[in-house]
């Protein structure tokens, strides 16, 4: 019954940590003083339990709580609320990890394609996939389509919208998706390639479904979205009805939830086939250890949940391809955008250099 396990990192003193941990257990379950509960049996059926407390560096402790799985109502928002609802408002607490009991895990389908399915779509075996982004915002559909055509000529596996491309007047979704998909299809016909286009899907539920219809009619087989911008339950419901592969963007996900848990486990659990994350040494401050733990969480065996493809990104360059391949291995998608676009008139050559480096580097891993 108490099979749901959550691990937290709490800032506290040694003298206060037991009381702090018990307060967290109360807050995330019955949310009232136990002495005020008139039905004693609820303290045995609902009140979370402190399972372990361990020092985790100066002034920090790792606390493991066990929850009654039925308190989640066996659905996404209930699970998130139990794990990190009210305590998300407490700055001294970080959610590090979770373990789901079989009954609760069975509620979630995970990625519909996973690594193997993405490889089949892109017709890529034996090497990492390559990915790039269409940017900057403000370009017209024709200008974005020209970039996409060049990327596809260069042999990129997946050309995605920048996540900031939504439905702006400069490049409305319906027009943009149609002309970019046509441009990529034209390049594929010329080269015999299999480049895929992933448009950014966002907006209200009605907008999401309207845009999804447009994408399907255009022949799109992969979409990009940001689960935290949509809301995680909405994201899960979208994946349920989708039938397309999903690239998950990390926008708005900088909460006090560990990146391996947020991107490697939660996004995967709710249906992401590939998970974009900020790689170390780029525009963000994740450590190599955090990035590798995230990638491992995305790919680790997990009952019926298919593995998701980790996608290190965020200011990466072609010169770092070998380093990234050595760290992450072949079951990875490398996303390089700005570094390719910086080549300007030499975009095609720079793109081919990226693709070639991945192909050659894969043979060394």
**Domain ranges for the chain:** 2-106, 113-363
- List the pLDDT tens digit at each of the 365 positions of the chain: 799 999 999 999 999 999 999 999 999 999 999 999 999 899 999 999 999 999 999 999 999 999 999 999 999 999 999 999 999 999 999 999 999 999 999 999 999 999 999 999 999 999 999 999 999 999 999 999 999 999 999 999 999 999 999 999 999 999 999 999 999 999 999 999 999 999 999 999 999 999 999 999 999 999 999 999 999 999 999 999 899 999 999 999 998 999 999 999 999 999 999 999 999 999 987 999 999 999 999 999 999 999 999 999 999 999 999 999 999 999 999 999 999 999 999 999 999 999 999 999 877 65
Q: Do domains 2-106 and 113-363 have the same CATH topology?
A: no
Which residues, in sequence order, are bridge partners of residue 334? 130
pLDDT of residue 365: 55
Sheet with 196-198: list strands edge to edge: 196-198, 158-161, 129-134, 333-335
Report the CATH fold assignment for 2-106: Alpha-Beta Plaits (3.30.70)
pLDDT of residue 284: 87
Q: Is the pTM of this model over 0.85?
A: yes
DSSP letters spanning 59-122: TEEEEEEEE-GGGGTTSHHHHHHHHHSGGGG-TTEEEEEEE--HHHHTT----SSHHHHHHHHH
Q: Which two tokens stand for residue 89?
A: 């408002």
113-363 architecture in CATH?
A: Alpha-Beta Barrel (3.20)
Instruction: Find out whether 298 and 306 touch, Cβ atoms under 8 Å.
Output: no
3-state secondary structure at position 310? strand
- CB count, 10 Å around CB of 205? 12
pLDDT of residue 364: 63
| Dihedral sign, Cα of residue 232, residue 238, residue 241, residue 243 | negative
Strands (E), the chain: 4-11, 49-55, 60-67, 93-99, 129-134, 158-161, 196-198, 222-225, 245-248, 274-278, 309-313, 333-335
pLDDT of residue 191: 97
Closest C-alpha among 208, 156, 203 to residue 183: 156
Q: Which two tokens stand for residue 122?
A: 């892109």
Instruction: Find out whether 8 and 94 touch, Cβ atoms under 8 Å.
Output: yes
Q: Distance from CA of residue 41 to its chain's centroid?
A: 40
The gap between the terminal CA atoms of the chain, to the nearest Å, is 44
Provide CB contacts within 8 A for 118, sequence distance 6+.
129, 222, 245, 273, 274, 309, 333
């Amino acid at each position: 019954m108490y099979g749901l396990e959550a691990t937290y990192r709490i800032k506290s003193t040694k003298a206060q940590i037991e009381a702090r941990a018990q307060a967290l257990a109360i807050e995330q379950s019955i949310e009232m003083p136990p002495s005020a509960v008139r039905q004693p049996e609820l303290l045995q059926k609902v009140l979370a339990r402190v399972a372990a407390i361990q020092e985790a560096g100066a002034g920090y402790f790792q606390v493991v709580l066990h929850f009654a799985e039925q308190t989640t109502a066996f659905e996404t928002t209930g699970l998130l609320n139990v794990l990190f609802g009210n305590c998300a408002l407490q700055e001294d607490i970080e959610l590090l990890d979770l373990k789901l009991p079989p009954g609760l895990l069975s509620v979630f389908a995970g990625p519909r394609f996973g690594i193997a399915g993405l490889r089949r779509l892109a017709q890529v075996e034996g090497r990492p996939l390559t990915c790039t982004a269409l940017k900057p915002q403000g370009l017209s559909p024709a200008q974005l389509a020209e970039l996409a055509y060049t990327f596809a000529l260069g042999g990129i596996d997946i050309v995605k919208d920048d996540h900031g491309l939504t439905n702006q007047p400069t490049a409305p979704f319906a027009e943009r998706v149609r002309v970019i998909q046509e441009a990529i299809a034209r390049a594929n016909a010329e080269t015999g390639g299999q480049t895929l286009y992933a448009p950014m899907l966002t907006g209200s539920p009605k907008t999401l479904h309207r845009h999804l219809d447009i994408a399907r009619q255009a022949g799109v087989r992969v979409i990009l979205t940001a689960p935290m911008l949509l809301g995680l339950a909405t994201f899960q419901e979208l994946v349920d009805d989708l039938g397309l592969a999903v690239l998950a963007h990390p926008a708005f996900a900088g909460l006090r939830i560990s990146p391996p848990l947020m991107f490697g486990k939660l996004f995967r659990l709710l249906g992401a086939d590939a998970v974009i994350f900020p790689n170390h040494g780029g525009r963000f401050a994740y450590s190599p250890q955090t990035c590798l733990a995230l990638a491992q969480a995305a790919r680790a065996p997990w009952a019926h949940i298919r593995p998701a493809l980790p996608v290190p990104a965020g200011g990466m360059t072609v010169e770092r391809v070998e380093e990234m391949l050595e760290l992450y291995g072949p079951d990875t998608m490398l996303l390089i955008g700005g570094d390719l676009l910086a080549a300007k008139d030499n975009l095609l050559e720079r793109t081919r250099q990226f693709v070639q480096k991945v192909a050659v580097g894969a043979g060394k891993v």
